Amino acid sequence: MPGQFEAIPGGGAAVALDEVEISIIRSLAVQLLELIGPGPGEDASDDPLAELFAEGPSEPPTDPVLQRLLPDAYGGPGSEEGSADADELRAYSAEFRRFTENDLRAKKRDDALVVIRCLDSMTAAGDGGAVLKLSAEESRHWLGALNDLRLAIGARLDVIDEEDTDLLYQLPDEDPRKPMVMAYLWLGGLQETLVGTLIV
């Protein structure tokens, strides 16, 4: 079980994590929360219907990581700037974002909070590490958060496709990006084994 999730009875998953791994995942989840931003403030409406129809931003974020986490719904690579089609797609994306971004941010915030709470509630084993046991629902939150963490790190590393990932393996140890690359690859392994437990 070290370094990989395994299915457990009842539809959950378990993984052994040492104190350093716990600290890394928790720190990354906290940074993700800070990037996504806080939820509704004190001035939020108590009316659930008003909350349902609350409008979000219509412009895409400027931060490249947030652009990766909250992409435009329409357009993307291949859309020619300045063309009538591109302008139309941009308008569709703005409208879609206005009604979906708040919910998407809330989902990502919830996923990261579940990760932090699970790590905070772990009981340490005698060897300085612990076994994290997740319910099926917690596993789905973890999967979302691991995906978001990899997308965020991948954006910082300019990972666009498989070729970029292959180049990461070739970085020399003295490259300042190496720790981020190691986290990216490690989280990918965790994500892959967690997916495996969900389809068993």
* Cα angle value 72/77/83 (rounded, 5°): 85
Dist CA 145 CA 139 (whole Å): 10
Gyration radius from the chain CA atoms: 19
DSSP secondary structure letter of residue 79: P
pLDDT for position 125: 43
Residues sharing a CB contact under 8 Å with residue 149, sequence separation 6 or more, in sequence order? 28, 29, 32, 187
Residue 105 has pLDDT above 50, yes or no: yes
What's the CA dihedral at 72, 116, 27, 193 to 10 degrees?
-70
145-191, pLDDT tens digit by residue?
999 999 999 999 988 887 777 788 888 889 999 999 999 999 999 99
Higher pLDDT, 169 or 127: 169
**What's the mean pLDDT in 94-108?**
90
pTM above the 0.75 mark?
Answer: yes
Average pLDDT of 22-36? Answer: 95
First-last CA distance in the chain: 16
Tell me the two tokens of residue 148. Answer: 């978001």
